Structure 1
Amino acid sequence: MNARVKVIGAGSIGNHLGHGCRTLGMDVTICDIDRSALERARDVIYPNRYGSWDDAITLATPDELAGEAFDIVIVGTPPATHLKVATAELETTSPGVILIEKPLAHPSSTDIDAFIAAAEKSSTRVLVGYNQRLKPNTKHFVHLATTLELGALQGLSSNMLESWDGILKAHFWMKSERDSYLAFTDQGGGALLEHSHALNLFLYFADVLGQGRVTDVVGDIEWVSHEDGRYDRDSALSLTLESGLVGTVRQDLHTWPASKEAIATFEKGALVWSMGDSSDRVEHRSTSGELIEAWDFPKTRPDDFIGELEHLRSVWENPQTKSPIDLPAGVAVMDVILAAFESSSSGTSEPVRIRN
C-alpha cells in the first residue's frame, strides 16, 4: 500500500521532500496557506529543479484538506512555525508519522518542552529531518569507525561552512537572505540553526563512538545586526562530552566555496566525512595525514533525501523500527544550541540540559 503523504510548506524543502516521496512512489499532497506559494512550486521551483511539474502531486490550502487523514505528514514550514504546525497535526489528524524538517524549532525552550509533552501523549511517531544521518557516506563512516582497529578516539570535529551565496543559489527565487527567516536567529535562521547538520553529526558520531552526550558548551558567536533583527554569522563551539573528550563544531554563513566535513581522530589514524554537490566521501587517513583509502558516493541533490524518506516509509510501515532521527535527537541539537547562545551572552562555559 502506498503511503499518503501531506507535505506542509511549498518552499525549498517542501519541494525537495515532495519530489523524493514521489520518486519512491508515494501519493503526495503539498499544502500551504499561501496560494501563490503553491503556484510558485508548480510553475517555478519544481520544474526548475527536476525538469517538469509532476501532475500526480495535489496542491491544496489547509481549508481544502480539513478533516482529511494522511499516513505521513512532513512539516516543511519556517522553523518558528514548526512546533505549532506539528502540534495541530498531532491533535487533529494523528498521522502514523510526522517528520519535522531541521531545525526542530526556533530557539525557545518553553515551546520545545510544550511540544515534547504533546508528542508524548500522542500515538504518532515524531522524527526530525537530519537526513545526513541516513546517507550512504555516514553509514560507511560509522561502519569504518566501529570495525577498523583505530584505537581510542582522541578528537572529534564537525563543520558546515557555507556563505549566503550557496544558500541563495539553492533558493533562486529569493533576492536576499532577509526575504525569509534565514537572517533572523530568533526565527530559526542564522548559522547555528540553519547549518545545524554539523552539530547534529557531531552528536551522532559522539554517541556511536561511545563518548556520550554533551555536558557543557562554550559558544564563540559573531552576531550581525540589521534594521529588522540579527543573526549569528559564525558560530564556533567547544563541546565537552560525558567521556571527558572535548570536541569542536563550527558553522558559518560566509565561507565560499563551501566546506562540509567531520573528522574523527584516533590513536592509529583518522576518518574524514565530507559532503559535496555531486559526490559525498569518506577518507581513511594515517596519523600523519596521508590518505590510506577513500570511498566516493556520487549523487545528485535529490539523492540527499532518499535515504531519509525510505527510512520514513519504513517507520510508517513498522512503528517499532529504531530511528537515528527520532524526536530526542532533534531536541538534543536544540538543547546544545540554546546553551551555546547562553554561553555567547555570558562569555563563559554553560551546562547543556541533559534529558532522561
Structure 2
Amino acid sequence: MKVAFIGCGSITKQRHAYEYSLRKDVEIAGFFDFVKERSEELVKKFGGKVYSTLDELLDDKEVELVSVCVANAYHAEVSIKALKKGKHVLCEKPMAITLEDCQAMVAAAHESGKRLMIGHNQRLTPAHKRAREIISSGEMGKVLTFNTMFCHGGPESWSVENSKNTWFFKKSSAAFGSMADLGIHKIDLIRYLLGDDILSVYSQMRVLDKTFEDGSPIEVDDNSVELLTFKKGAFGTVTTSWTCYGTEFNTTNIFCQKGILKLYSDPEYSLIIVHSDGREEKLALDRMQTNSDSQQASSGVIDEFVDSILENRPSILDAEDIIKSMQAVFACQLSDKKGTAVNI
C-alpha cells in the first residue's frame, strides 16, 4: 500500500512519516503542504514526491492511505474530500471543530466504504491497555473517582513555526486551546479506561500566561480544568496546561473500591497497582512519549491504522467511537461559556 501526507508540520515529521517508514508493507508516495518547502524537506528525509496541490495528491490512484495532519480547522474538509476520493483516512486529533463536522466525517466514511480513524495514541499504550483490563475485570471493584492531567510548556517551540505566532494560538486555525489539544487525549482516555460514557461536564478555561510575539494574549485557552461525571456514577477531573514550565505531566490516577491504579506517575513504573491493604504491584511496561522525544516512533497509531485495514477488523481508533469524546469537548466549550454544568 502507498500512503501520502496532507500537512507537513511537526506531527508528520516526528510521528506519522517516521512510523510509516518503519513498515515494510507501506510505501511513502509523497507529501503536500501549502508551504512547498515543508513538503520538499520531508521528501528529502523520507522519499516520495512533492504534490503541488491537494487535488493532485487525492487524484493519485496508487495512494490508498492518507494521513491528515493539517490545522484543526481543516480536519473535516480535507478528511471528507479524501474519503470521497476513495482513500482510507487517519486524521490527527482533535477530530474536527464542530460536532456537525465530526458527524459529516463519519457519514463520508460510511458512504465511501473507507476507514476513518483518529490518532488517539493514549488508547494504545501498554499501561493504559493493562489498566483497562483490570477495571473491566472488576478485580479492583467499582471505579469511584479519578484525576488525570496533561500539562507541558506549550506547543510554540514544538510546532513547525517555532514561534509564539503559531497556528495553535489562533482561534481561526486551532479553534481550541489546551482543553482540546491536550484535554481531548485525557477525556477520551478516561472513557476508554472506564468503558463508560460521559453524562455531564463542567469546565473552566483561562488564558493565564501565553502571548503572541507582540505581547498580546493568545486567542484560545492555555489552561483548563474539567469535571466529568460518567453514566455509571464515577466522576473526576481533567487538568490541562500549556504553562507547565520545566517538565511535563501526563498522568492518571483511578480510585477504585479495592485500591488505586497509578498511571505514568513514576519515571520507572508506568503502572502501579496499590491494593487496599497497602500492597503495591509495580509494572515497568513502557514509557510515555513526550514532545521532547526527537522521534516519536512507538505511538502504535500507524501500526493500528494499517493493520486494522489489512486485517479488515474494527479498530479502537475508529471515528464512530471517538466522536463521543468530541461531544464531551464541545460540551466543555459550552460549559465554560455558560458557567454551568452541561449534560451530554
Q: TM-score, normalised by structure 2?
A: 0.85
From 272, 291, 315, the equivalent of 1:283 is 272
From 76, 79, 82, the equivalent of 1:83 is 76
- Matched residue, 2:335: 343
- Matched residue, 2:203: 219
| Separation in structure 2 between the aligned mates of residue 11 and residue 279 of structure 1, nearest angstrom | 31
Deviation at 1:110, TM superposition (A): 3.1
From 294, 297, 300, the equivalent of 2:286 is 297
Partner-residue secondary structure (3-state), 1:297: coil
Taking a change above 3 Å as real, the CA distance of residues 133 and 67 of structure 1, as seen in their structure-2 partners, is same
Deviation at 1:299, TM superposition (A): 7.6
Which ranges of structure 2 fall in alignment gaps of 5 or more residues?
A: none
Show CA shifts across 1:118-168 (max 9, x none). 23322011111101111222222223334572222221222111122xx34
Which ranges of structure 1 fall in alignment gaps of 5 or more residues?
A: 44-52
Deviation at 1:75, TM superposition (A): 0.5
Q: Is the 8 A contact 2:143 2:254 kept in 1?
A: yes
The number of residues matched between the two structures is: 328
Q: Is the 8 A contact 2:80 2:108 kept in 1?
A: yes
Deviation at 1:116, TM superposition (A): 3.1
2:170 equivalent to 1:171: no
Q: Is the 8 A contact 1:160 1:252 kept in 2?
A: yes
From 3, 9, 12, the equivalent of 1:5 is 3
Q: Is the 8 A contact 1:240 1:246 kept in 2?
A: yes
| Separation in structure 2 between the aligned mates of residue 71 and residue 191 of structure 1, nearest angstrom | 33
Partner-residue secondary structure (3-state), 2:220: strand
2:320 equivalent to 1:332: no
| Separation in structure 1 between the aligned mates of residue 277 and residue 337 of structure 2, nearest angstrom | 38
Show CA shifts across 1:161-216 (max 9, x none). 1122xx3443375122x222344387244111111211111111121xxxx21111
Deviation at 1:228, TM superposition (A): 8.1
Deviation at 1:288, TM superposition (A): 7.7
- Matched residue, 1:36: 37
- Matched residue, 1:115: 105
Q: Is the 8 A contact 1:158 1:201 kept in 2?
A: no
What does 1:233-244 align with in structure 2 at a 5 Å threshold? 233-244=222-233
Partner-residue secondary structure (3-state), 1:121: helix
| Separation in structure 2 between the aligned mates of residue 83 and residue 172 of structure 1, nearest angstrom | 21
Show CA shifts across 1:326-350 (max 9, x none). 1023212221111111111111111
Show CA shifts across 1:49-90 (max 9, x none). xxxx23x33332325435212221110111100100011112
Taking a change above 3 Å as real, the CA distance of residues 184 and 66 of structure 1, as seen in their structure-2 partners, is closer
- Matched residue, 1:47: none
Q: Is the 8 A contact 1:131 1:304 kept in 2?
A: no
Report the aligned-residue RMSD.
2.7
From 89, 94, 98, the equivalent of 1:103 is 94
| Separation in structure 2 between the aligned mates of residue 230 and residue 172 of structure 1, nearest angstrom | 19
- Matched residue, 2:12: 14
Partner-residue secondary structure (3-state), 1:71: strand
| Separation in structure 2 between the aligned mates of residue 284 and residue 146 of structure 1, nearest angstrom | 15
Sequence identity, in percent?
19
